[in-house]
């Protein structure tokens, strides 16, 4: 196990901001994972797991141990009629895994194409997109208990999934490291295209023409049209969560802002954070090398030499501005370190 000192994380976060980790370890198997966890404990230092760094913003140097989760491996482990069980280890790239499943006629993940990150991070926040959530297709996962080093299996129910959350984000936060995830997929090419933008994009095609492969392709096209490529422009996609408020609060807000963009959520209403930010005047704002994307008000960007601290300051200014104008508090979706 190689341990690197004072390691620059610029190439390990999609904002591409410079920040130095006291120690950096590339974890390639379960043995090196346990060694790395033991090293952090011996040094009495905090540690953090990263995959592609697609949801991270380092505002300063990290004083502990960064573990790059690079444990690879995926395979079909069981079949029963049209049902197929596929298992992938935590370091596998999510989108590449979705494409691998499609290539092996294992369907059910196509709506989740092009979501950034690795397999291990997916269950933590129950990723979802275009009408499908991970909890609908995940059967079980294996995770290493940090305090004991033991490998434990969690069923779907054990994970207590909810909207963009799980037990690993709540009660068991920082207690386990996800090692592998198993998905119950199907050999049947049944698609889910009820989500508005997906349905609109495919409306001219017959049912027979809409394949899982086509759904994946269209999802990728929609996602690319909405978000800038972090390989070309430093960003982490949507910076803030879309706020959810009561119907009563929404009615009061709508009286003052009749054009406010909203989406019913049962007895709640979800607001479009991008609309709020744009109405507060931030779309296209730039100061030095940080700013708000000119086409996507929800995306904060690093134009080159911006720092994490500058991006955090900008996000706080946006938050305060939206709160002053609408009385709504935006919460970062990006994890600020």
Rounded mean pLDDT for each run of 10 residues along the chain, 337 residues in total: 94 95 96 93 93 89 96 96 96 97 97 94 92 96 94 97 91 95 96 89 87 96 88 92 94 95 90 96 97 95 96 98 97 93
Regarding whether 61 and 110 lie in a shared domain, the answer is no
Q: Are residues 104 and 215 in the same domain?
A: yes
Measured in whole angstroms, the distance separating CA 109 from the mean position of its chain's CA atoms is 15
Active site residue 164: yes
Q: For the chain, what percentages of helix, strand and coil (3-state, to nearest 5) are there?
A: 30, 30, 40
Report the CATH number that the domain containing residue 269 is assigned in CATH: 3.90.78.10
**Is residue 333 annotated as a catalytic residue, yes or no?**
yes
| Nearest-angstrom CA–CA distance, 37 and 67 | 9
299 and 242 housed in the same domain: yes
Q: Which one of 204, 226, 248 terminates a domain?
A: 226
Whole-number Å distance between alpha carbons of 21 and 1:
17
The radius of gyration of the chain's CA atoms, rounded to the nearest angstrom, is 21
Active-site residue, from 35, 145, 278, 333? 333
Strands 268-271 and 262-265: antiparallel
Residue 126: which CATH number?
3.30.465.10
Same domain (yes/no): 115, 207: yes
Q: Indicate which residue of 164, 187, 223, 286 is catalytic.
A: 164
**Bridge partners of residue 56, in order along the sequence:** 335
- pLDDT value of position 196: 83
Rounded Cα gap, residues 244 and 40, in angstroms: 38
Which one is catalytic: 166, 216, 238, 315?
Answer: 238
Domain that holds residue 206: 74-226
Q: What six digits make up the tokens of 227? A: 């978000």
pLDDT attached to residue 194:
87
The answer on 78 and 131 residing in a single domain is yes
**202 and 135 together in one domain:** yes
Q: Is 24 exposed, middle or buried (0-12, 13-18, 19+ CB in 10 A)?
A: buried
Token pair 């495919």 is found at 202
Count of domains observed in the chain: 3
pTM, two decimals, is 0.86
pLDDT (0 to 100) of residue 227: 83
Task: Say if residue 91 is in the same domain as residue 216.
Answer: yes
pLDDT of residue 40: 94
């Amino acid at each position: 196990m190689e341990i690197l000192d004072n390691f620059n994380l610029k190439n390990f976060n999609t904002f591409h901001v410079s920040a130095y980790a006291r120690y950096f370890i590339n974890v390639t198997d379960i043995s090196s994972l346990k060694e790395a966890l033991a090293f952090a404990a011996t040094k009495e230092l905090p540690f953090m797991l990263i995959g592609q760094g697609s949801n991270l913003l380092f505002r300063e140097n990290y004083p502990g141990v960064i573990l790059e989760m690079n444990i690879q491996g995926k395979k079909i482990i069981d079949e029963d009629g049209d049902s197929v069980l596929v298992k992938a280890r935590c370091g596998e790239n999510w989108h590449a895994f979705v494409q691998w499943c499609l290539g092996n006629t294992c369907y059910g993940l196509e709506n989740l194409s092009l979501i950034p990150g690795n397999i291990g991070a997916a269950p933590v926040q129950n990723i979802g997109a275009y009408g499908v959530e991970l909890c609908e297709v995940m059967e079980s996962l294996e995770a290493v208990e940090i305090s004991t080093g033991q490998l434990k299996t969690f069923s779907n129910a054990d994970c207590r999934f909810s909207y963009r959350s799980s037990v690993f984000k709540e009660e068991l936060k920082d207690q386990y490291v996800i090692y592998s995830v198993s998905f119950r997929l199907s050999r049947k090419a049944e698609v889910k295209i009820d989500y508005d933008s997906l349905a609109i994009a495919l409306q001219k095609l017959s049912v027979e023409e809409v394949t899982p492969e086509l759904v994946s392709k269209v999802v990728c096209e929609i996602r690319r049209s909405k978000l800038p490529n972090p390989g070309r422009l430093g960003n982490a996609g949507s910076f803030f969560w879309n706020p959810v408020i009561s119907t009563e609060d929404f009615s009061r807000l709508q009286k003052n802002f009749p054009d406010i963009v909203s989406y019913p959520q049962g007895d709640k209403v979800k607001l479009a954070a991008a609309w709020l930010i744009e109405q507060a005047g931030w779309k296209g704002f730039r100061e030095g090398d940080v700013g708000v994307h000119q086409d996507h008000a929800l995306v904060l960007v690093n134009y080159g030499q911006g720092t994490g601290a500058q991006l955090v300051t900008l996000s706080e200014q946006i938050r305060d501005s939206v709160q002053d104008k609408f009385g709504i508090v935006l919460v970062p979706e990006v994890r600020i370190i």
